Structure 1
Amino acid sequence: MFSFSLARHSRVKTSAAKYSCTQSDMSSLKWTQKKVLARNPCCASRDDVTSGQYGSHDMPDDMLTSAYDEALQIFSQARTLSELQVKMELEQAFASETSSDSLLQEEAQDALSSFWVEQGLSQAAATRLSEEIRQRGQTYTMNQLSSKVLRWQRLLPDADIGSLMARDPGILDADVNSALLNMIALVEAFPGLEIMALLIRQPRLLWSDDLRSRVSRVLDHIYRLHPSKDMSVVREIVFDNPELLFRMDYYQKATLIDELPIEIQNMMILADQGIGYLYRYYNNRSTNYKAELTRNNFNMNEF
C-alpha cells in the first residue's frame, strides 16, 4: 500500500546480558527484512513519501501518522534483531576462542604429565601430580620445572626427586637453603639413622619452617608418654612414623598413651600386642623381669 525507507543505522555492540539470541530471533530478523523490502522497494526517504511518487497529497493526516508509526516499529524491530545478530556472531567467536583455550590447557597438562613421566613417575602418578599442581593454582614453564628439579637433584643426589614431589608438591616452591638446614637438624635429632629414608616418607620435613623446635618438642612429649623412658626407642618410633612430628601437636595435653587416638597408639605398641603388653614389657625390662616373675608366682599360688 505504502512504501517507506529505513534510516541507515550502524550495528551497536551490546553486552551479553542485555539480549539473548536464538534461532527463532534470527528467523524473525529475516522475516522483518523481507517485510521492510516489500514495503520499501526504492529505499524512498520520508520526504519522498510526503511529496514524491510514493506519497499521496490527498492522504489524511491520521493515515499518514499511522503509516509512520508502523514504519518506526518495523525499524525498531530490525535494529534490535540486527544487534542480536551481532551478539550471536560475537558469542560464536568467543566460543571458538574458549574451545581453543581449552585445547591449549589440555596440551599444557599433557606436556606437564610427560615431564613427570620423564622424572620416573608412572603415567597415573604423573597425571595426579599435574592435576594437583593445577588445583593449587600454580603454573610453571617447562624451563622452570627443569630448573627446580635440577636444583633438588644437586641437593639430594641419591633421592628420587619425582617421587618426593609426587608425595608433596609443596617442595616445588621450597627454599633449598632452608631444606639444607632442616636436613642438618634431622641428622642431629636422629643420629645413626638414614635421613633420606625419613624424607622419602615425609617430604614436608624439607620445607617445614620450624623443624628444629618441632622435632625437639615432639620427641620430648613422646618420651614423657612412653613407658620405655628411652630416647633411642622414641627416636625409632618417630623415625618409622614421621607424621607424628606434625600430628602430636594436636595432643599436647595428653599425659598417657591411652589418651591418644588408636591410630597413634598403634604406632607405639610392640608386635601388635596392645597397650597393656607395651606397659608390661617395659616394666619387666626396667626391673630385669622381676615384676613378671613376681606376677607369675602370685598366679601360681592361687592354685
Structure 2
Amino acid sequence: MLSARVVSFSPDDPLSGLEVGDAPAPAAPDGWVGVDVRAASLNHHDLWSLRGVGLRAEQLPMVLGTDAAGVTADGREVVVHAVVGGPDGRDVPGDEPRTILSERYPGTFAEQVRVPAWNLVDKPAGLTFAEAACVPTAYLTAYRMLFRSGAAQPGQRVLVQGAGGGVAVAAVQLGAAAGLEIVVTGRDAAKRERALALGAAQAVEPGARVGRVDVVLETVGRATWEHSVRAVRPGGRIVVAGLTSGDPEPASLTKVFFQEISIIGATMGTRDELGQVLAFLARTGVRPLIDSRYPLARAADALARMTSGAHVGKIVLEV
C-alpha cells in the first residue's frame, strides 16, 4: 500500500523525515472499516508531526494525514471525521482520550485508511472527492469557530487574522455566505485581494485599524494578539484555534478583564458538525478553495509547498 509516513523527526528540516513508498496496510480494531482514499488534504499538523510534535519515536513510522474522502468496500462515498475517541467518539473504549488520525492511529496519506465506522459521514453528491477532503479540519474548524464558539450572527463583524491559511480562507467563505461582515488581515497583498474575491468586506495589513468587531478568529498568536484584543468590542469574543507565531507576550489581560472580553478555545468539531458544514457547502454552492493538487507519490512536493507558505487555500493529495 502506497503511503506517506514520518520515519524520523527534524525540527529544522521536517521533510527529511518523510518517506513515501509501499508499506503494509494498517491493522484495525473490531468495528473499524476501511476506506479507499480518493483524496486527502494537507494541514500544518502534518508538518508539526514531521518535527516531532505530538508523536514519540517509538510510534514511528506513522502515516501522516488527518483529512480524507473516499469509498468503502460497499461503494459508499464518505468523508472521514479525523477525531477518534473522546466524548463524541464511538467504536473505541469509553475511556480513550480524544486524538486525531496520524497521532495514535495511521493517517490518511495512504491508499487506504481504517477508522471507526462512527467516523464516516456521507459525502454530498455535489462535492468532488478533492473538495470534500478539504473539509474535516480547516472548514470544520472555521465553522465551529464562527457559529458555535464565536456565536456569530448575520450582520455582525468578524475579524479573521491571516489571509492565506486554510482555516482563514474557510472562515471568509463560510462567514460571507452566512451574511457576516468579514474583515481579514494579511501581509501579502495578493492574498488580501484573494480574500476580497472570496467575499471578505475588507482586507488590510496586520495591525491596521479596522474599527470594533464582534468576534475575532485567532490562529496566528503572538504576532496578531495585541491587535485582536484592541479590535474586539467590549463584551466581544476572541476564538483561538492556533498559535502559528507562538504564545502571546504580553497577554493583555488588563484589557481582557476590564472590557469583559471572552477568550474561547476551539479545536476542529464533532462528527455531527462535520455533517452540518458539508450540508452548508452543498446547499449554498460554496466550495473549498483548492490551491494545488498532487498525486500521493509526490507528497514531498505538496508538503514543500505548504512549508513555503506560498499557498492560498488547501493543498490536496489525490490517489
Q: TM-score, normalised by structure 2?
A: 0.21
Structure number with higher relative contact order (C-alpha < 8 Å, ≥ 6 residues apart): 2
Greater Cα radius of gyration, structure 1 or 2: 1
Q: TM-score, normalised by structure 1?
A: 0.22
